[in-house]
């Protein structure tokens, strides 16, 4: 006999296909066949579900003497159900297939266990009892791959001849395992999850310098949900630290932020000479962690941070390097460092000491539209995609007058942007106050890193030469992922970034 039962605000049953019954016509006079207790075989002793969903209790029950009652009990679920088979069928059954649905209230908490006591009684009064655990922990969400490197990087050869391939994966409950496969190397390496929700790990790859490898990563959680991705990875292996032509400052809290931007993260810094660099940075909060990296998408295989063995020096070993932790907010920091000898310096300077090229007080009624005093209006600038008559005005930061925002830009996947930063003008007069992408020294309009000043007017205290005409370009990055983005621009640093809006 097989029956299906539903339990909700009220309890009800529906039945189908009764077979294999036995018994006598007198309900009170059933003779023992074997005198044994019933047997109860549960399809699962642990049922995973979620609040607002059903939990199905499935079991096969047998008793040669005849099954009389099945009782299900749990006070927290307001469950106390007795199924009287003699009353339903008019005679006891020797085999019964139980399928009972418990509708869990939406108000139940997640990650909670509810033990349901299942008691079966036969016509001779003999019983068997089992406990089924219903847990509100079902996981139908796939794990996430938060980070894998892509593109081209430079690495110093390790003693064992391998290069670290870094990955970060996460699951809302527990990771079963992670698998990294490189077909060209005939390599497949598995990492056990050990119940962790997050794994930040790496595998050493014996790659050849300058060769691009296709690397597959698969993460599987304990509910068999899986996510896979494939990335192209090229490593240029060198025997000693190169004199990098480009260096970047990383301030990210999560490595996914290195790749979720459209441009500007990490922040390009200045190369001042062979192996030497200077970085200026505005600290918005205490505790920000800083590293310097020559590659844009990862803190591996090289990152420069404080050497724990000598805090007056920097180390490039990503397994040792500790972050430079900023202990002041709302100030600018200046760092200088040499990657050959590890020496570095750092100092702070105030917002007032910082200088930008902006010629007028932002938002003030000081802009002479025609230059003859006939029309004085508000001075403002912002995101320009066509002409100065139509800009999306920036918002100036409340604390730092050098810092500006465009809070919302809705962009499509694969959209190629085309913009400059420019002041408003009624009749399209150009470049009173403007910034364009600096394409000198390896700069690219497709990947904007420095926005050089090009305006005809500027603050007299700003002594830096204007961006040369042959070195300027409109910014033309391509958006990888559709979404709402925030544009951040620092006029003192001449840096901008376009990041997902929160």
What is the CATH T-level fold of the domain 2-135, as seen in this structure?
Answer: Immunoglobulin-like (2.60.40)
Q: What is the pLDDT of residue 15?
A: 31
Q: What is the pLDDT of residue 28?
A: 53
Separation CA 115–CA 135 (nearest Å): 9
Cα of first residue to Cα of last residue in the chain, in angstroms, is: 56
CATH number for region 144-238? 2.60.40.10
Separation CA 84–CA 109 (nearest Å): 32
**pLDDT tens, residue by residue, 38-86:** 999 999 999 988 899 899 999 999 999 999 999 999 999 999 999 999 9
**Phi, psi for residue 102 in degrees, rounded to 5:** -105, 115
For the ranges 157-171, 182-196, 265-279, 397-411, the lowest mean pLDDT is seen at 157-171
**pLDDT tens, residue by residue, 445-471:** 999 999 999 999 999 999 999 999 999
More confident of the two residues 43 and 3: 43
Separation CA 30–CA 167 (nearest Å): 67
Q: What is the pLDDT of residue 195?
A: 86
Q: Is 185 helix (H, G, I), strand (E, B) or coil?
A: helix
Give residue for tokens 């200045």: 270
Separation CA 235–CA 213 (nearest Å): 9
Separation CA 212–CA 233 (nearest Å): 5
**pLDDT tens, residue by residue, 405-450:** 999 999 999 999 999 999 999 988 899 999 999 999 999 999 999 9
Does the CA dihedral 391-392-398-402 come out positive or negative? Answer: negative
Q: Which residues contact 75 (CB under 8 A, 6 or more apart)?
A: none
Domain with CATH 2.60.40.10 in the chain: 2-135, 144-238
Nearest to 267 by CA among 288, 282, 284, 286: 282
| Structure-block tokens of residue 29 | 């006079």
CATH number among 2.60.40.10, 3.40.640.10, 3.40.50.10860, 2.60.40.3620, domain 365-500:
2.60.40.3620
Task: Name the percent of the chain lying above pLDDT 70.
Answer: 94
- What does the longest C-alpha to C-alpha distance in the chain come to? 115
| Structure-block tokens of residue 202 | 């790496």
**Host H or E run for residue 13:** strand 11-16
Nearest to 278 by CA among 345, 324, 327, 330: 345
Count of Cβ atoms closer than 10 Å to residue 453 Cβ:
23
Domain with CATH 2.60.40.3620 in the chain: 365-500
Query: How is residue 394 annotated by DSSP?
Result: P
What is the CATH T-level fold of the domain 248-349, as seen in this structure?
Answer: Immunoglobulin-like (2.60.40)
Nearest to 437 by CA among 494, 487, 386, 387: 494
Q: Is 377 helix (H, G, I), strand (E, B) or coil?
A: strand
pTM above 0.85, yes or no: no
What mean pLDDT is reported for the chain?
91
Asked if the model's pLDDT at residue 6 lies above 50, the reply is no
Nearest to 174 by CA among 278, 275, 48: 48
Nearest to 139 by CA among 173, 176, 105: 173
| Structure-block tokens of residue 179 | 């698998």
Q: Which of 16-30, 63-77, 158-172 has the highest mean predicted lDDT (pLDDT)? A: 63-77
Does the CA dihedral 350-356-359-362 come out positive or negative? Answer: negative
């Amino acid at each position: 006999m097989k029956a299906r039962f539903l339990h909700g605000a009220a309890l009800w049953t529906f039945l189908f296909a009764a077979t294999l019954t036995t018994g006598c016509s007198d309900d009170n006079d059933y003779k023992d066949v074997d005198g044994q207790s019933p047997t109860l075989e549960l399809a699962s002793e642990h049922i995973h579900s979620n609040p607002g969903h059903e939990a199905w209790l499935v079991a096969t029950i047998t008793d040669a003497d005849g099954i009389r009652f099945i009782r299900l009990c749990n006070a927290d679920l307001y469950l106390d159900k007795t199924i009287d088979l003699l009353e339903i069928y008019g005679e006891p059954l020797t085999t019964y297939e139980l399928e009972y649905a418990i509708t869990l209230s939406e108000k139940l908490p997640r990650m909670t266990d509810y033990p349901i006591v299942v008691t079966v009684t036969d016509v001779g009064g003999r019983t068997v009892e089992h406990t089924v655990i219903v847990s509100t922990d079902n996981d139908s969400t796939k794990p996430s791959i938060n980070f894998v490197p892509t593109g081209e990087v430079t690495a110093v050869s390790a003693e064992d001849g391998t290069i670290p391939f870094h990955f970060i994966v996460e699951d809302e409950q527990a990771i079963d395992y992670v698998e990294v496969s490189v077909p060209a190397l005939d390599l497949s390496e598995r990492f056990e999850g050990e119940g962790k929700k997050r794994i930040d790990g790496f595998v050493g790859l014996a790659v050849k310098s300058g060769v691009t490898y296709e690397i597959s990563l698969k993460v599987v959680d304990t509910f068999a949900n899986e996510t896979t991705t494939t990335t192209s990875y090229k490593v240029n292996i060198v025997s000693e630290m190169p004199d990098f032509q480009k260096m970047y400052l990383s301030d990210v809290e999560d490595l996914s932020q290195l790749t979720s931007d459209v441009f500007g993260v990490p922040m390009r810094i200045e190369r001042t000479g062979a192996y030497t660099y200077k970085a200026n940075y505005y600290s918005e909060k205490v505790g920000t962690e800083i590293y310097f990296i020559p590659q844009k998408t990862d803190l591996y295989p090289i990152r420069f941070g404080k050497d724990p063995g000598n805090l007056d020096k920097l180390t490039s070993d990503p397994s040792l390097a500790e972050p430079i932790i900023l202990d002041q907010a709302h100030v600018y920091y200046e760092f200088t460092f040499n990657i050959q000898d590890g020496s570095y310096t750092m100092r702070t300077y105030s917002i007032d000491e910082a200088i930008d090229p902006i010629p007028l007080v932002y938002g003030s009624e000081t802009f002479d539209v025609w230059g003859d005093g006939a029309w004085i209006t508000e001075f403002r600038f912002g995101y320009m995609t066509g002409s100065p008559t139509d800009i999306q005005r920036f918002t100036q930061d409340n604390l730092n007058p050098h810092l500006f925002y465009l809070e919302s830009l809705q962009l499509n996947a694969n959209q190629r942007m085309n913009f400059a930063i420019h002041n408003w003008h009624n009749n399209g007069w150009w470049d009173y106050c403007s910034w364009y992408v600096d394409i000198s020294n390896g700069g690219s309009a497709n990947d904007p890193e420095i926005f050089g000043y090009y305006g005809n007017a500027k603050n007299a205290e700003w002594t830096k030469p204007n961006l040369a005409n042959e070195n300027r370009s409109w910014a033309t990055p391509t958006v990888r992922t559709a979404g709402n983005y925030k544009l951040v621009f620092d006029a003192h640093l001449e840096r901008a970034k376009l990041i997902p809006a929160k």
